[in-house]
Amino acid sequence: MSTANPQRRAVLKGGSLLTLLYSIDGIATLLSPREAHTKAVALQALSPVECRTLEAIGEVLLPGARSAGLAEYVDYQLSIDFGDCLLAARVVDVAPPLAAFYRAALASIDAAAKRTMGSVFATLPAEAQIVFVKTMATSDPPGWDGPPAPLVFYLLRSDAIDVCYGTAEAYERLGVPYMPHLLPGTAW
Amino acid sequence: MSVANRSLEYREKVDAVIVGAGVAGAILAARLSAEHKKIVILEQGPNWQLGDLLSSQIWSRRLKWGGAPVELKGAHPAGHSFNMGWGSGGSAIHHFAQWPRLHVEDFRMKTLFGRGVDWPIAYEDLRPYYDRVQEQVGISGDHVREPWRPPGEPYPLPPLKSFKQAEVLANGFQNIGLRTGPTPLAILSQNYKGRAACLNDGWCDAGCPIGALAQPLLSDLPTSLANGAELRTQAAATRVLLSGDGRRAIGVEYIDHSGTPKRQHADVVILANNCVQGVRLLLNSATSHHPHGVGNSSDAVGRYMLTHFSAGLAGMFDIDMQNHLGTTGSALIGQDAYARPEGSYSWFIAPAHKLSDVLGIANVDEVLFGSALHDFVRRAAKGLGSITAVGEQAPRAENRLILSGTKDAYGLPIARWDNALDTREQTLFATMRAEGLRALKAAGAGQLWASERWVYQHIAGGLRMGAGPADSVCDSYGRCHDMPNLILAGAGLFPTQGAVNPTFTVHALTQRTADHLSEHWGSYAI
């Protein structure tokens, strides 16, 4: 744990509040989820199919989530110890391992979409994706076979909110003072 | 890994081993170590420092429960992890520091309303401790403008500054005939005893690293360590060790940071971990002398669990509500609906808002998505006002923690918690919700949001105090009826918990226990 002496007010100069630690070419590198997405870092917990589904539904839940690094953020958190995990699932009593929950949820999305709409979620027309997600918000879609769909909706939506609105940049964009005491980053 | 299959390392016997480095454990460690007792504290989570309390809603989740899962069952499953702490400081390092006192009536619910049970002590027994604690930690408030507050000394500090949101919402409550006053907060409105005043930036639940918000990392834990107490973190207690005849606790078995089972022997064993894990530890400590768990001759261990059901509401206003300013909890409190036959509830009004996280602006309308969600966040970042009512759940034997058939990484059964609200409580929730909607409308809100379903705050009970072992686990000092040197501490002791946040009462109750331990140590450490 850090023993840094807290400051009365940290100075914020565009730093990200959500950084992930990667090894790139053998060098430890801190990246924001958005930077990790741009650099197309290798995912550790999610398969390419799961990543595609997560990004597709994330983009419907909150446009911009894909480029903000939703998949990279979730993948990173699923690959570390539960006690260090920062996902909202941790605080709403989803039992670890969280990777199992996410895999079951993403598989259910694709299976139900394919069964009732003829295609996995990522390749559904935009209007069909919206109808599917709207159903998930309140009940299990037809053919659903996984964790309760409203819980999946809530958590994937929370993850999208994290990468889009959990950062200092988002506050700055909205004109809301962030006013941090201590910024994450050095503690990784 | 099975505990039974690993060799145990025996350590030097100490005066007291304390399980849990939250509020209760830290208070007792500070007091006993000041009296030259040799103390070891076992804490399951990490060893947080003030410098770890980062200003981020995302990072704040590290401070919440990260241990063995809890199975949540029953007609209305409760919420657990959001309410619990993980590591030194316990839940107090992310708590909102709203510190109302329990009311006089909360101690006599059975006598007055035929509901639940009376405490074995009265408000007057705790009053001097409430007064002592508020002076020690520095509570900001105004006892005159908080007309419901039971007798006691005035708060040592004036209320925190409030902002437009509080002004607007107070008018709404006033317009429907309800009173509001400054929330008593364990957050400094002025510099106090070498600690810095609050900056009104709303980072309370991410942990306050500047020391404005009272919590164990500021005083009791550093005091304990300075006095020579030893804090072992990442040390998960697995069993209370008993003497051969089963009459005394002799220590605690735990798994250390490397996964190695160890034992710490002590004259006095204090369980100050949270009530869920405290119950689990007693039940997992069953022996031939105590086949249903240690301290459980009454079959009361794990029964009478308590939580608060709450109604969260929000309204959109077409002015800048300055809603990013203030504290995570609230600026104002209202208790006109307290201590009544139909049950108590308290209003907490005008919290500081963050954009993300469970209580964040973006989660106010939980089914909104797509570009409409972006639009909502943009408007709400300036115009949202919100209120929360906290309702009293009565103790019932069937709201209970037991051991699950599922086991944790060490092969020990995890806890299962069955919870249900009765008809009266569900009716009270509907009343709270309807009243909140009226207040928001009367404040001038346009669009309104009110969850159809309650959410849960605070966890208490399961280790309740009482006059004897017939229906309680311990006495009012936390001394286990079945075992004279086993002490229980924390909110688990509450027979009822009113409709107020528990932390102030945990402080007061634990200070009382500390006095008793100090004065009667010889009767504990025989």
Q: What is the pLDDT of residues B325-359, one digit of tens each?
A: 999 999 999 999 999 999 999 999 999 999 999 99
Q: How many CA atoms lie within 13 A of B220 on its CB side?
A: 29
Query: What does the pLDDT average to over B134-143?
Result: 98
Chain pair A-B, CB pairs under 8 angstroms = 168
pLDDT of residue A12: 36
Strands A20-24 and A27-31: antiparallel
Q: How far apart are CA B353 and CA B379, in angstroms?
A: 13
Does the CB of B210 have a partner CB in chain A at under 8 Å? Answer: yes
* pLDDT value of position B185: 98
Instruction: Determine whether the interchain pair B52/A9 forms a contact, defined as Cβ–Cβ distance below 8 Å.
Output: no
Examine residue A120 and state whether it is found in any structural domain, yes or no: yes
Q: List Cα–Cα distances, B201 to B321, B323, B327, B428, B504, in angstroms.
A: 14, 10, 7, 33, 23
Per-residue pLDDT band for B5 (boundaries 50, 70, 90) equals very low
Greatest extent of chain B over all pairs of C-alpha atoms, in Å:
71
Residue B74 forms contact with A (CB below 8 Å): no
pLDDT surpassing 50 at residue A3: no
Q: What is the DSSP pairing of strand A27-31 with strand B39-42?
A: unpaired
Subunit contact B355:A183, Cβ cutoff 8 A? no
Q: For residue A14, is pLDDT > 60?
A: no
**Model pLDDT, residue B320:** 97
ipTM for the whole predicted complex goes beyond 0.90:
yes
B414, burial (CB in 10 Å: exposed 0-12, middle 13-18, buried 19+): buried
At B213-223, the pLDDT tens digits run 999 999 999 99
Cα–Cα dist A169/A165, whole Å: 8
Say whether A181 and B202 touch across the interface (CB within 8 A): no
Q: Are B486 and B293 in contact (CB under 8 A)?
A: no
The b/e string for B472-484 (b: 16+ C-beta within 10 A; e otherwise) is bbbbbbbbbbbbb
Provide the pLDDT for residue B310. 97
Name the percent of chain B lying above pLDDT 70: 98
Q: Considering only alpha carbons, which residue of chain B is nearest residue A158? A: B357
**pLDDT at residue A32 in the model:** 86
Rounded to a whole number, what is the distance in Å from the CA of A26 to chain B's nearest CA?
26
CA distance A157 to A63: 11
Two structure tokens written together for B18:
């304390």
Q: Please report whether residue A32 resides in a domain.
A: no
Give me A1's structure tokens. Answer: 């744990």
Q: Is residue A72 part of a domain?
A: yes
User: Which of A179, A183, A186, A188 is the best mutation test for B, with the most CBs of B within 10 A?
Assistant: A179
pLDDT grade for A2, boundaries at 50, 70 and 90? very low
Helix (H) or strand (E) segment spanning residue B415: strand B413-418
- In the prediction, which pLDDT does A21 show? 78
| Confidence at A188, pLDDT banded by 50, 70, 90 | very low
The DSSP 8-state label assigned to residue B17 in this structure reads: E
Contact B235, B44 (CB under 8 A): yes
pLDDT for the residue numbered B313: 98
Question: What part of B 150-209 touches A (C-beta under 8 Å)?
Answer: 196, 199, 201-203, 208-209
Q: In this predicted model, what pLDDT tens digit does every residue of B390-430 receive, in sequence order?
A: 999 999 999 999 999 999 999 999 999 999 999 999 999 99
Whether A185 is in a domain gets the answer no
CB pair distance less than 8 Å for A60 and B381: no
Domains identified in chain A, total number: 1
The single-letter code of the amino acid at B124 is E
Report pLDDT digits (tens) over B474-483: 999 999 999 9
Q: Could you tell me if B370 lies within 8 Å of chain A, comparing CB atoms? A: yes
Note whether residue A88 is domain-resident.
yes
Domain that holds residue A77: 45-168
Produce one character per residue of B337-368: b if its CB has 16 or more CB atoms within 10 Å, e if not. Answer: bbbeeebbbbbbbbbbbbbbbbbbbbbbbbeb
Per-residue pLDDT band for B11 (boundaries 50, 70, 90) equals: low
- Predicted confidence (pLDDT) per residue in B290-326, tens digit: 999 999 999 999 999 999 999 999 999 999 999 999 9
The residue among B147, B183, B137, B139 whose CA lies nearest residue B162 is: B183
Cβ-based neighbours of B355, under 8 Å, separated by 6 or more: A161, A165, A166, A170, A171, A174, A176, B57, B361, B362, B377, B381
**CB contacts, 8 Å: B210 with chain A:** 6, 8, 181
Average pLDDT over residues B361-389: 97
pTM for the model:
0.94
**Distance from chain centroid for Cα B102:** 13
DSSP state of A82: G
Total domains in chain B come to 1
Q: How would residue A182 be classed by pLDDT, with cut points 50, 70 and 90?
A: confident
Quick check: A128 contacting B, CB < 8 Å? no
User: H helices of B413-475, where?
Assistant: 423-443
**d(C-alpha B304, C-alpha B299), whole Å:** 11
* The two three-digit tokens of residue B89, written as one number: 């400081």
Question: Is the CB of residue B216 less than 8 Å from the CB of residue B222?
Answer: no
Within a domain: residue A51?
yes
Confidence class for position A22, pLDDT limits 50, 70, 90: confident
Q: In the numeric block, which tokens belong to residue B303?
A: 């029964």
pLDDT of residue A17: 56
Residue A61 with chain B: CB contacts under 8 Å: 369-370, 373
Condensed to tens digits (0 to 9), the pLDDT of residues B50-84 reads: 999 999 999 999 999 999 999 999 999 999 999 99
Q: What is the pLDDT of residues B428-456, one digit of tens each?
A: 999 999 999 999 999 999 999 999 999 99
Provide the pLDDT for residue B10: 61
- Give the whole-angstrom CA distance, residue A29 versus residue A27: 6
A20 interface with B at CB cutoff 8 Å:
no
Give yes or no for B362 touching A (CB within 8 A).
Answer: yes
The per-residue pLDDT of chain B, averaged, comes to 96
Q: What's the CATH code of the domain at B440? A: 3.50.50.60
How many Cα neighbours within 13 Å face the side chain of B288? 3
**Given pLDDT bands bounded at 50, 70 and 90, which one contains residue B9?**
low
Domain extent at residue B283:
3-524
Q: Is residue A154 part of a domain?
A: yes
The single-letter code of the amino acid at B524 is Y
What pLDDT does B8 receive?
Answer: 61
CA dihedral B11, B13, B14, B17 (to 10 degrees): 70
Model confidence over B26-49: pLDDT tens digits?
Answer: 999 999 999 999 999 999 999 999
Number of other residues whose CB lies within 10 A of the CB of residue B112: 15
* 8 Å CB contact between B150 and B129: no
In the structure encoding, which two tokens stand for residue B354, read together?
A: 């963050």
Q: What's the mean per-residue pLDDT of chain A?
A: 87
Instruction: Assess contact for B4 and B258: CB atoms under 8 A.
Output: no
Cα separation, A139 vs A148, in Å, equals 8
Quickly state the pLDDT bin for A185 (edges 50, 70, 90).
low
Q: What is the pLDDT of residue B99?
A: 98
- For residue B212, the Cα-to-chain-centroid distance in whole angstroms is 19
DSSP E strand boundaries for B175-303? 181-182, 230-232, 236-242, 249-255, 261-271
- Residue A143 belongs to some domain of the structure: yes
Q: Which residues lie across from B413 on neighbouring strands?
A: B407
